[in-house]
């Protein structure tokens, strides 16, 4: 059984499902919503991150089409004359979208991009000892093969005085309404259908990252704000004939072809029904994330 292993089963199915999900939460609208990007921008420290006259170095893991990255880079350019930005992203399609964005947005002209079409695991094999002042992984740590090794590598590549910034699905329930913020579905699926080590699948949440940092005595700040939540239109998931609905279901469970697994499908739909709300005729399922910022003290 492939519970939680969508990307391992088929990177193509993963990408198709991700695109269906983007449509279901209105990514195009979101692209025009400055509040979402401002939220990430606010996480970037206001102070300069390196000595004047030196290049600021940024590493993005799983940058996708660069929507969040470019907002972060623009803030950094307010304090730094030039930025070296290494992009580690396995999908050629996503990198092309990111490059188009860069070509069209002249305000990113002072950024020197270093494109690496690789997974985080392949990238580590290149054994480069560059240190970065900012390393971020926004909604990507579900998909790396080895969470522990990826976090270790990210931390090792961070310069003293640098920041590591991670966004990942929250394991909590959202305030006031007490509904699943996204992560509880993962745990429910795993409890009933999972086999082996959950951390070897994509069913990971903020608590897994926090435990990793706690075990190493690394201090960090956690925030979670409504503006960064995704309100996903799951109406189509209840229509077995809807191709888009089935892909969204796959993405939300990180499991390939859930429509062919009646037990998993029934449990997921029941959970989503109880944890969603009807708004203007659409069934909306809210997924919240946590943002974890760790600072590497100078030794
Ligand atoms: C949900 S998207 C997030 C994209 C972007 N960070 C954002 O917030 O818009 C996850 C991204 O991680 C990439 N990815 C998947 N597996 C990866 C891996 N093993 N290493 C690095 N990136 C990976 C995917 O191609 C995808 O672009």
| 8 A C-beta contact, residue 272 and residue 258 | no
Asked which of 50-59, 63-72, 256-265 is least confident by mean pLDDT, the reply is: 50-59
Rounded to the nearest angstrom, the distance between the alpha carbon of 176 and the centre of ligand 1 is: 31
Mutate to test the pocket of ligand 1, among 58, 64, 287 (most ligand atoms within 8 A of CB): 64
Q: Is the CB of 89 under 6 A from ligand 1?
A: yes
Q: Under 8 Å CB-to-CB from 85, ≥6 apart: which residues? A: 58, 59, 60, 69, 73, 111, 112, 113, 114
pLDDT tens readout for residues 58-93 = 999 999 999 999 999 999 998 888 999 999 999 999
Number of domains in the chain: 1
The span from the CA of 118 to the CA of 3, in Å, is: 25
**Ligand 1 atom closest to residue 138's alpha carbon, by position in its atom list:** 6
DSSP string computed for 209-267:
HHHHHHHTT--EEEE--GGG-EEEE-GGGG-TT-HHHHHHHHHHHT-TTGGG-HHHHHH
Among 33, 60, 140, 154, residue to substitute to test ligand 1 (most atoms within 8 Å of Cβ)? 140
pLDDT at 174: 81
Is 146 within the bounds of a domain?
A: yes
- Of 202, 129, 140, the C-alpha closest to 165 is 140
pLDDT in tens, 156-205: 999 999 999 999 999 888 877 889 888 999 999 999 999 999 999 999 99
168 lines ligand 1 (CB under 6 A): no
Contact 166, 209 (CB under 8 A): yes
Which CATH number do you get for residue 234? 3.40.50.150
pLDDT digits (tens, 9 = 90+) for 140-153: 999 999 999 999 99
Atom of ligand 1 nearest to the CA of 64: 27
Q: What pLDDT score was predicted for residue 226?
A: 83
Domain membership flag for residue 1: no
| Distance from C-alpha of 296 to C-alpha of 240, rounded to nearest angstrom | 49
Cβ–Cβ < 8 Å for 255, 6? yes
Whole-number Å distance between alpha carbons of 95 and 115 = 8
- Is there a domain that residue 100 lies in? yes
Question: Is residue 84 in some structural domain?
Answer: yes
Q: How far apart are CA 100 and CA 158, in angstroms?
A: 28
Q: Is residue 77 part of a domain?
A: yes
Using a 6 Å cutoff on CB, does residue 62 contact ligand 1? Answer: yes
Q: Classify residue 14 by burial, with Cβ atoms within 10 Å: 0-12, 13-18, 19+.
A: buried
Ligand 1 nearest atom to the CA of residue 119, by list position: 20
Task: Determine the structural domain holding residue 224 and report its residue range.
Answer: 6-295
Q: Chain centroid to CA 55: how far?
A: 26
Contacts (Cβ under 8 Å, ≥6 apart) of 299:
160
Q: Is the CB of residue 140 below 6 angstroms from any atom belonging to ligand 1? A: yes
Of 25, 62, 124, 228, the residue with max ligand 1 atoms within 8 A of its CB, to mutate for a pocket test, comes to: 62
DSSP-assigned letter for residue 106 = G
Nearest CA to ligand 1 atom 27: 64
For ligand 1, is residue 138 a contact (CB within 6 Å)? Answer: yes
Residue 116 CB–ligand 1 contact under 6 Å: no
Residue 220 phi/psi, 5-degree rounding, is -155, 160
Q: Which of 6-10, 98-102, 163-167, 171-175 is predicted with the least confidence, judged by mean pLDDT?
A: 171-175
Residue 9 Cα to ligand 1 middle (Å): 16
Buried b (16+ CB within 10 A) or exposed e, 136-150: bbbbbbbbbeebeeb
Tens of pLDDT, residue by residue over 227-249, are: 888 899 999 999 999 999 999 99
CA–CA separation, 194 vs 60, rounded Å? Answer: 31
């Amino acid at each position: 059984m492939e519970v939680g292993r969508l990307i391992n089963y088929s990177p193509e199915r993963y990408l198709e499902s991700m695109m269906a999900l983007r449509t279901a939460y209105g990514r195009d609208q979101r692209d025009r919503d400055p509040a979402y990007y401002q939220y990430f921008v606010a996480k970037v420290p206001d102070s300069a991150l390196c000595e004047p006259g030196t290049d600021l170095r940024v590493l993005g893991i799983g940058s996708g089409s660069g929507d969040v990255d470019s907002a972060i880079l623009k803030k950094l350019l307010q304090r730094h004359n030039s930025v070296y930005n290494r992009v580690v992203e396995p999908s050629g399609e996503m990198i092309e979208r990111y490059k188009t964005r860069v070509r069209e947005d002249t305000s990113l002209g002072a950024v020197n991009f270093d494109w690496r079409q690789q997974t985080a695991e392949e990238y580590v094999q290149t054994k480069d000892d560059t240190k970065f002042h900012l390393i971020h992984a926004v909604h990507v740590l579900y998909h790396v093969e080895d969470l522990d090794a990826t976090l270790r590598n990210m931390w090792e590549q961070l310069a003293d005085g640098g920041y590591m910034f991670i966004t990942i699905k929250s394991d909590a329930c959202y305030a006031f309404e007490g509904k699943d913020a996204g992560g509880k579905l993962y745990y429910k699926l795993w409890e009933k259908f999972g086999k082996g080590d959950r951390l070897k699948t994509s069913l990971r949440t903020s608590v897994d990252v926090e435990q990793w940092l706690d075990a190493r005595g690394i201090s960090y700040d956690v925030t979670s704000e409504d503006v960064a939540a995704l309100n996903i239109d799951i109406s189509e998931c209840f229509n077995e004939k809807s191709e888009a609905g089935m892909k969204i279901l796959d993405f939300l469970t990180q499991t390939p072809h859930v429509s062919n697994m009646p037990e998993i499908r029934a449990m997921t739909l029941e959970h989503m029904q109880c944890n969603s709300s009807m708004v203007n005729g659409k069934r909306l399922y809210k997924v919240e994330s946590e943002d974890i910022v760790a600072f590497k003290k100078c030794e």
